[in-house]
């Protein structure tokens, strides 16, 4: 129990997850407050000052047991989490408490989840391509090492599976570590993901932080910052390649919208909170690389009604270096990963960064796939035979390329029965060059589907 000096007031009202506190002095915004119910500590976060003696705070626990007149204490700072070198391989909640049934973390220090980004003098610029071993990504929308990548798609198009494969790639190819922030995950999804990570052998190099769907919106709103605090600790102490994954950023925005409504703020565009852009920037601006290590971020973003013009999607897009669009039509054709190669883009798609050969081959692949897309309606109505010889050749090569850019994943091997493969960028470029120049014109399309490099000889 805290001492009497930290007592700041009492609870005057409880409205769902929002608590109104009467106090003599107002603590600053985002300060963590606490109350005690039968020796159990309940945490709140200050979100609104109503007048000189009243504030509204959002609970970070369940509200059962809270009542009017209950004393409220000031913790002296924002929410802090325990960090330590034994955090890898663990499954934790927003407070750093174990969810995996293991022992509590050995605390080396307590870090506030809200802090300023490193000074610009200490940060480093984006540093080339981060290879993932996924053909379509490395070729057409390469990851920026130390940058931010967004996976955009509706429900059921494969965002989480792709995220898991990236975690496997960082561990296997770069000997790096992953920090996974499960924002608003269903309990079933989180449980399955945890066991799949263990089965794939990735968990020893992974830290998972969950704020689940049935928890307070305050938890879902802050779990991303809590996970980012652990990523910053690992970057500063290990100096390794850190992959920071958020699944799903849209649920973070939804939690902010819930809090905004509960606090009585007037909604803005399409019902979103008026502070949408600020909240997204507060999170995204801390994802930085320093001289000690790099944080590369991959963020799964649910696209409501598959509408890329949604204000939440637009707010996130402005912070990203690579945009990967997952298409429902690609998934319906059995093209996995269901990446739309024409809609996806990367800031690294520049001949001066990628080199002349990579840029030329990527442009050639895009041209073939774009021409095939233009001719699809004509083919459906009149048939392939009505096309000119040049267009027919482009279409046949584009269909082979489309199937070649599929790939079996390590993390999906137990479900698909196909062993996972990682393909080096050099092999991908060689294979695509061979497709574009006609060296595989005699090959059937099914021999290009769901395989690794064409050099492997395995169908």
Query: What would the two tokens of residue 100 be?
Result: 């995996």
Q: Which residues of 259-282 are buried (b: 16+ CB within 10 A; e: fewer)?
A: bbebeeeeeeeeebbeebbebbee
Residues 43 and 31: their CA atoms lie apart, in Å, by 10
Q: Which of 56, 111, 145, 159 is catalytic?
A: 159
Q: Which tokens in the block code for residue 369?
A: 């796939």
Say how far apart CA 355 and CA 352 lie, in whole Å: 6
Question: Up-side HSE of residue 423: CA atoms within 13 Å toward CB?
Answer: 28
E strand spans, 366-418: none
The Cα 178–Cα 180 span in angstroms is 6
Q: How far is the C-alpha of 43 from the C-alpha of 58, rounded, in Å? A: 9
Rounded-to-integer distance, Cα 322 and Cα 302, Å: 16
Q: What is the phi/psi pair of residue 314, to 5°? A: -65, -40
- CA–CA separation, 85 and 22 (whole Å): 40
Catalytic residue among 185, 241, 279, 284: 185
Residue whose structure tokens are 């940060």: 123
Q: Which two tokens stand for residue 380?
A: 């459906």
Phi and psi at residue 148, to the nearest 5°: -125, 130
Tokens representing 456?
A: 């492997």
Q: Could you tell me how far CA 32 lies from the centroid of its own chain?
A: 26
Q: Which of 186, 351, 357, 439 is catalytic?
A: 186
Q: Is 186 a known active-site residue? A: yes
CB atoms < 10 A from the CB of 85, how many? 12
Question: What b/e sequence results for 233-255 when a residue is b if at least 16 CB atoms lie within 10 Å of its CB, and e otherwise?
Answer: bbbeeeebbbbbbbbbbbbbbbb
DSSP for 266-285, please give it: PP-GGG--TTHHHHHHHHHT
Please say if 185 is a catalytic residue: yes
Which positions are annotated as active-site residues? 159, 185-186
């Amino acid at each position: 129990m805290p001492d009497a000096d930290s007592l700041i007031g009492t609870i005057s009202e409880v409205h769902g997850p929002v608590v109104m506190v009467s106090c003599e002095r107002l603590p600053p915004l985002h300060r963590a407050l606490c109350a005690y119910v039968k020796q159990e500590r309940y945490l709140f976060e200050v979100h609104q000052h109503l007048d000189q003696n009243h504030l509204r705070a959002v609970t970070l626990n369940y509200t059962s047991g809270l009542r009017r007149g209950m004393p409220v204490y000031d913790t002296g700072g924002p929410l802090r989490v325990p960090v330590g070198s034994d955090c890898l391989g663990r499954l934790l909640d927003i407070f750093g408490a174990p969810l995996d049934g293991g022992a509590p973390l050995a605390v080396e220090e307590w870090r506030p989840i809200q802090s300023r980004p490193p000074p610009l003098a200490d940060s480093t610029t984006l540093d080339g391509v981060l290879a993932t071993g996924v053909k379509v990504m490395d070729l057409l929308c390469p990851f920026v090492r130390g940058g931010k990548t967004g996976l955009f798609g509706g429900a059921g198009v494969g965002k989480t599976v792709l995220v898991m494969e990236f975690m496997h790639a960082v561990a296997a190819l770069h000997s790096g570590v992953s920090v996974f922030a499960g924002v608003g995950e269903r309990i079933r999804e989180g449980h399955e993901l945890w066991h799949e990570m263990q089965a794939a052998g990735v968990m020893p190099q992974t830290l998972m932080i969950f704020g689940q769907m049935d928890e307070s919106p305050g938890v879902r709103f802050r779990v991303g910052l809590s996970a980012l605090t652990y990523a910053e600790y690992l970057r500063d102490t290990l100096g390794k390649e850190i992959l920071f994954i958020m699944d799903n950023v849209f649920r973070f925005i939804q939690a902010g919208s819930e809090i905004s409504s509960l606090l009585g703020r007037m909604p803005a565009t399409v019902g979103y909170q008026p502070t949408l852009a600020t909240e997204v920037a507060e999170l995204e601006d801390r994802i930085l690389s320093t001289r000690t290590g790099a944080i590369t971020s991959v963020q799964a973003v649910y696209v409501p009604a598959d509408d890329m013009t949604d204000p939440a999607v637009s707010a996130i897009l402005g912070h990203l270096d690579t945009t990967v669009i997952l298409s429902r039509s690609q998934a319906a054709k059995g093209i996995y990963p269901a990446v739309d190669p024409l809609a996806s883009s990367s800031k690294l798609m520049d001949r001066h960064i990628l080199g002349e050969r990579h840029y030329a081959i990527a442009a050639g692949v895009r041209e073939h796939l774009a021409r095939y897309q233009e001719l699809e309606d004509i083919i459906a109505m009149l048939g392939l035979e009505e096309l000119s010889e040049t267009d027919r050749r482009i279409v046949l090569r584009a269909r082979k390329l489309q199937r070649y850019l599929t790939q079996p994943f390590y993390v999906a091997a137990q479900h698909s029965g196909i062993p996972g493969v990682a393909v080096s960028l050099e092999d991908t470029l060689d294979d695509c060059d061979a497709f574009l120049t006609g060296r595989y014109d005699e090959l059937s399309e099914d021999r290009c589907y769901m395989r690794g490099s064409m050099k492997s000889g395995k169908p």
